[in-house]
Homo-oligomer: A and B are copies of this chain.
Amino acid sequence: MEIRTLDDLVRFDPEKKQKIAVFDSPHMYYDLYALLPGQLQKPFAFKKADKIIYLLEGTLRVSVAGEQADLQPGQAVRIPAGAVNSLENVSNEPAVALVVVAPHPECAERKKRRKKEAGAG
């Protein structure tokens, strides 16, 4: 059975935010994000996938479509498909979040490619 102890997977890197895949699922990303104080994820949007961030440790400043909030452990935020969002650890403690993105962004890419190829053929 595929069981993971999340604490065992967390790792930090002073160079940049860490994104750690917990499972390899064809249907979603199910990742840990580990950010040291000051680390961030730049503004970004998934066109067709929802992203939900659940904070396990620390404090994370989340920006979604221009709105800003400081997420606390035990809180989750949904970022709808298409919404530009960014993350920043503005605290003095490490931050760890459980991040789900669905559908799997690479699936959408694959589907698009297949459609294109079918159209061209």
Contact = CB atoms under 8 A, between A and B. Distances in A.
Given A27-B50, A27-B103, A102-B28, A5 B71 contact: no
Given A7-B74, A74-B7, A102-B103, A27 B49 contact: yes
A103 B28 CA distance: 8
A67 to B, nearest CB: 5
A102 B7 CA distance: 24
B76 A22 contact: yes
A23 interface: yes
Copies of this chain held together in the complex = 2
A35 interface: no
Interface string A8-43: 000000000000001101111010000000000000
Interface residues of A, number: 36
Given A102-B27, A102-B103, A103-B103, A6 B54 contact: yes
Interface of A: 1-7, 22-23, 25-28, 30, 49-50, 52, 54, 62, 64, 67, 69, 71-72, 74-78, 80-81, 98, 100, 102-104
